[in-house]
Amino acid sequence: MDESLFEKINVDWTSPALDFFMAVASSWALWLPILVPVIILVAWRGGFHVRAWLITLALALLMSDGVVTQMGKKWVNRPRPHESAPFARRVDLAPTRPAIFALTQPVVVEEKFNLTPAKSGRSFPSGHVMNNVSVAMVTTLFFARWGWLCFFPALLVSYSRIYTGAHWPSDVLVCIVLAMGLAMAVCALTSAIWRKVGPKFMPRTYAAHPHWLKS
């Protein structure tokens, strides 16, 4: 089932336009220069709950990427599809510096090849999926009215990881569940810490904002 669905997404349900779109969605190097100044601006201009959201995001990403993803890759040690599936394609933006120049280059599509684990990493967990879904879940819990919209880009990135040949569908589905659970646990932890620490060390701020989560 896993291999069959992967083949449909990675090989059958494809087009040159989708290759480009999914490669862009999957490129962390392309989006990082955009996200960093946005985060700095939000932290500077935002109020208490925005800063609380950023602190919670940072902790969630530390747990997601630094602990769960890195340790999980070593423990599970599952090969990526393009390492073990003979029908797999790997789709990626052209390697350029800076990464934004790749938008002017043809997408790199490679078929039926193998990469060494040291160069390509392991398939489970997916750092892209864990991180993006964690961000979406934390944002939803903080800003329920509009935060759920963050799941659209998160799920797009998740799908792109299958499309580009980086992960199996089962990797992505399990990581979505793990990331949501991790994000909820981190939000519960930071809320509990604020209830304990806030009145003691920041009484005025706590009086104005007794709830860590805005919603």
Q: How much is the mean pLDDT over the chain?
A: 90
Q: Which CATH number fits domain 2-208: 1.10.3470, 1.10.287, 1.20.144, 3.30.70?
A: 1.20.144
Name the band, by pLDDT with cuts 50, 70 and 90, for residue 116: very low
Domain extents in the chain:
2-208
> Average pLDDT for residues 34-62, to the nearest whole number?
92
Is the pLDDT at 120 greater than 80? The verdict is: no
The answer to whether the CB of 166 falls within 8 A of the CB of 184 is no
Query: What tens digit of pLDDT does each residue of 138-178 get?
Result: 999 999 889 999 999 999 999 999 999 999 999 999 999 99
- Predicted local distance difference test score (pLDDT) of residue 191: 96
Query: What tens digit of pLDDT does each residue of 83-109 get?
Result: 777 788 889 999 888 888 888 899 999
What percentage of the chain has pLDDT greater than the value 70? Answer: 95
> Average pLDDT for residues 24-29, to the nearest whole number?
91
Name the band, by pLDDT with cuts 50, 70 and 90, for residue 201: very high
- Predicted local distance difference test score (pLDDT) of residue 113: 56
Is the pLDDT at 213 greater than 50? The verdict is: yes
Is the pLDDT at 27 greater than 80? The verdict is: yes
Name the band, by pLDDT with cuts 50, 70 and 90, for residue 118: very low
